[in-house]
Amino acid sequence: MSVELYHTHHSTCSQKVRICLAEKNMPHPNKDWVAHEVDLGNFEHLTPEYLKINPNGVVPAFVHDGTVIIESSAIVEYIDEVFPGPKMTPQDAVGRAKMRSWMRYIEEVPTVAVRVPSFANLFAPMRYSEYSDKKFSDHAERLPLRKRFYQRMTKEGFGADDVNYAKGQIRQTCERIDQAIAINGGPWIMGEQFTIADALVAPLIDRMEDMGYSYIWEDDLREMGNWFITLKQRPSFQATFYPGSRISDRYSDHFRLAKDIEAERGY
């Protein structure tokens, strides 16, 4: 059996897949699976070689016995179906439908929202601030999947309205997690079973905490806060977030906490 993952250490979508691999007792890169690090800073995800593997030009890409699976939600469902180990999908049809509703929400709301402060606070100023307008526009045109995202953004990132809207979307996500745990009894979103829903949203909440946005939930969302504390203690989480897998580690020379950035910018 050959298992390969084209990933980036600090990519939230890559982390989603690594959590699920660890849940299936495959926590170790280059032991349990072959790791191919894709350097996003040097745009390796846009090379002809990588685009042959993943024409969307994003990470991750999963290769199992020569078959390529792309898109993190599809990858994690595939992993849960194909590989032995604890099941992360409910056995009953209603449970599966509810979990997939969560998956759709996570992909459409917090996954998109987290990109905004990530680029506003770090990636755009670090990578693109010295670009000419034409060079930045040409770069956006190269992107197979996220062209519109870059076209909405300036070379310096996003402004207050976009960042505050994204924070509101994260707050909504945290409220929904809090409510689900209160209704289902926890400790996980669907109840007693750790599911793909938990795995998909975990890196997004971790990224927000890493950037200094934990104030969004920590004052009043007790159930959600306890969920995150319990999540951090899970072996799959600890295997996924090794040293260098967070942007505060990876880009320590450029990294600044949200409170400092927002105080400087006045929002």
Final residue belonging to a domain, choices 82, 107, 139: 82
Note the pLDDT of residue 266: 85
Instruction: Kindly state the helix (H) or strand (E) to which residue 67 belongs, with its residue range.
Output: strand 67-70
Note the pLDDT of residue 228: 98
pLDDT category at 267 given cuts 50, 70, 90 is confident
Give me the chain's average pLDDT, please. Answer: 97
Q: Tell me what the mean pLDDT of segment 254-259 comes to.
A: 96
Note the pLDDT of residue 250: 96
- Based on the fold, state whether residues 117 and 43 are members of the same structural domain: no
CA 38 vs CA 25, 34, 57, 164, 187: distances in Å = 24, 13, 11, 30, 34
Final residue belonging to a domain, choices 56, 82, 108: 82
> How many domains does one find in the chain?
2
Q: Tell me what the mean pLDDT of segment 17-24 comes to.
A: 98
Predicted TM-score (pTM) of this structure:
0.97
- Based on the fold, state whether residues 234 and 153 are members of the same structural domain: yes
CA 184 to CA 6: how far, in whole Å? 35
Final residue belonging to a domain, choices 53, 82, 111: 82
DSSP string, 151-167: HHSBTTB--HHHHHHHH
- Based on the fold, state whether residues 158 and 135 are members of the same structural domain: yes
- Based on the fold, state whether residues 102 and 16 are members of the same structural domain: no
Note the pLDDT of residue 220: 97
Strand partners, 70: 61
Q: In the block, which residue shows the tokens 């930045």?
A: 136
At 192-224, the pLDDT tens digits run 999 999 999 999 999 999 999 999 999 999 999
Strand partners, 33: 29
- Give the CA count within 13 Å in the CB-facing half-sphere of 67: 8
How many CB atoms within 10 Å of residue 167? 20
At 82-112, the pLDDT tens digits run 999 999 999 999 999 999 999 999 999 999 9
The reply to whether 235 falls in a domain is yes
In this model, does residue 42 exceed pLDDT 90? yes
The reply to whether 88 falls in a domain is no
Nearest by Cα to 63 from 132, 146, 4: 4
Q: Which domain holds residue 218?
A: 93-265
At 222-247, the pLDDT tens digits run 999 999 999 999 999 999 999 999 99
In this model, does residue 144 exceed pLDDT 90? yes
